[in-house]
Amino acid sequence: GLHRPKSALGDYMVKVVTASLSDVDCALLLVEPIPHVGGPEKALIERIREEKLHCILCINKIDAVEPAELLPVIAAYSEAWNGFDAIIPISARTGDGLEELMTELGKYAQEGPQLFPDGQISDQPERQVMGELLREKLLLCLDKEIPHGTAVEITKFSERDSGVVDVGATIYCEKASHKGIIIGKQGAMLKKISSLARHDMEKFMGTQIYLETWVKVKENWRDNVNYVRSLGYRED
């Protein structure tokens, strides 16, 4: 999402959002049911207008408001720009409106050439996927305590003669207090995160995984441009 960056990682994320609008068939502007168009939304609308893109306005979280409350939201965005191809209210939580949204998006989908061989499900190296699976479990298990201030580095990725894959991963966080939360009482939280990640790793790799995880504090890592790049967040 587009936001006001407060770190080097935030700068990277914002650049990815704005750059991604340069080569798409249709943009989907996802907003909350608030009758006010904020600065980030105005910036995105301006980029969409500049690129002359088809755009669908998608208003999420309709399960949290009364139907009549959507009218001023639609009015505010229509006043900001009258070029939306469609305005579709949805609830990602309940699924309401998603079928209509997918039908509308289908109008802009164009069949292209097969870019990858049959059976290839990702263009990312397996090592990178292992790190993303572990970070996903961190976010799912710690969504209330720790924001996106964690990073994962895969320090070991090797296969034994038996086919078992050894994966070593270091989880970086910004504060000692965060480290305690990630590890949990008597290591319970880290054990839970590692177990969930290992299950998905084995499913992805199709073989047994031996996963070892460590937690280290690296203060203000999101502000270190070189470190952010070393974790794979590159603009090229």
Are 162 and 87 found together in one domain? no
Are 101 and 144 found together in one domain? no
The CATH code of the domain that includes 224 is: 3.30.300.20
Predicted TM-score (pTM) of this structure: 0.61
Identify the CA nearest to 28 among candidates 85, 91, 69, 96: 85
State which amino acid sits at residue 132. Answer: E
- pLDDT tens profile 78-107: 999 999 999 999 999 999 999 999 999 999
Q: Is residue 2 part of a domain?
A: no
- Residue identified by tokens 């650049």 is 15
- pLDDT tens profile 35-82: 999 888 888 898 888 888 899 999 999 999 999 999 999 999 999 999
Position 12 confidence tier, pLDDT thresholds 50, 70, 90:
very low
Are 52 and 94 found together in one domain? yes
The CATH code of the domain that includes 87 is: 3.40.50.300
Q: Is residue 170 part of a domain?
A: yes
Are 146 and 206 found together in one domain? yes
- The answer to whether 91 and 122 have CB atoms below 8 angstroms apart is no
Strand partners, 173: 217
Are 91 and 132 found together in one domain? no
Are 32 and 91 found together in one domain? yes
Average pLDDT over residues 119-140: 88
- pLDDT tens profile 131-186: 999 999 998 998 776 656 788 889 999 999 999 999 999 998 888 888 999 999 99
Are 23 and 78 found together in one domain? yes
In terms of C-beta distances under 8 Å and separation of at least 24 residues, what long-range contacts does 130-133 make, across chains too?
A: 130/154, 130/157, 130/167, 130/169, 130/201, 130/204, 131/169, 133/197, 133/200, 133/201, 133/204
- The answer to whether 124 and 133 have CB atoms below 8 angstroms apart is no
Structural domain count, the chain: 2
Domain boundary (53, 71, 106) is at: 106
Q: Is residue 197 part of a domain?
A: yes
Q: Is residue 1 part of a domain?
A: no
Q: What is the residue range of 19's domain?
A: 8-106
Are 130 and 101 found together in one domain? no
Q: Is residue 119 part of a domain?
A: no
Are 161 and 76 found together in one domain? no
Q: Is residue 16 part of a domain?
A: yes
Are 224 and 132 found together in one domain? yes
Q: Is residue 121 part of a domain?
A: no
Q: Is residue 117 part of a domain?
A: no
In sequence order, what are the residues at sequence separation of 6 or more whose Cβ sits closer than 8 angstroms to the Cβ of residue 36? 76
User: What local confidence, expressed as pLDDT, does residue 3 receive?
Assistant: 46
- pLDDT tens profile 216-234: 988 766 555 555 555 555 5
Are 26 and 93 found together in one domain? yes
